[in-house]
Amino acid sequence: MNSLLQASAESSPRSALAALLAGVVIVLIAACSGASALATPVATTHVDLPRSYRFAPEDISIQVGNTVTWTNNDSFTHSVKFDGSDEVQMMKPGESVSRDFPTAGLYSYICTLHPNDMHGTVLVKPVADGETKLN
Ligand SMILES: [Cu+2]
């Protein structure tokens, strides 16, 4: 009886610590794996295409009425094509393309030449009262 009490008194703080550490590890894993999916879009109307094969930043946020410009600073030809649209805007190295966003929503796009590597989103937010437009 006495030894049983001793054993449980000893193991209890250790198991509590082990449970706490396990919890911390789980939280860290969740934070790391979710980081890219939960990344906050960058407030900008300019998307760069640096070397190589990517849109930077991939996820942007703008306001209704803004125009977004993509500039190809890579040494390969790329394009911008939005989901649900047939229009493909091609960009040779050094060229830019633009698109107006008159309606709020989340718009996804790809480069039709490299759809696995190159994709991005434009979050178009309504302009709140008293807020000034970006451009
Ligand atoms: Cu491309």
Q: How far is the CA of 84 from the centre of ligand 1 (A)?
A: 19
The structure tokens listed for 114 are: 């490299």
Q: How far is the CA of 40 from the centre of ligand 1 (A)?
A: 23
Q: How far is the CA of 63 from the centre of ligand 1 (A)?
A: 26
> How far apart are the C-alpha atoms of 75 and 95, rounded to whole Å?
11
* Local structure of residue 46 (DSSP, 8 states): E
Residues with Cβ–ion distance below 5 A, ligand 1: 78, 111, 113-114, 118
Could you tell me the pTM of the whole model?
0.70
Please write the tens of the pLDDT for every residue from 58-107.
Answer: 999 999 999 999 999 999 999 999 999 999 999 999 999 999 999 999 99
Q: So what's the pLDDT on residue 127? A: 85
Instruction: Please report the domains of the chain, with CATH numbers, ordered by start residue.
Output: 2-32 (no CATH), 42-125 (2.60.40.420)
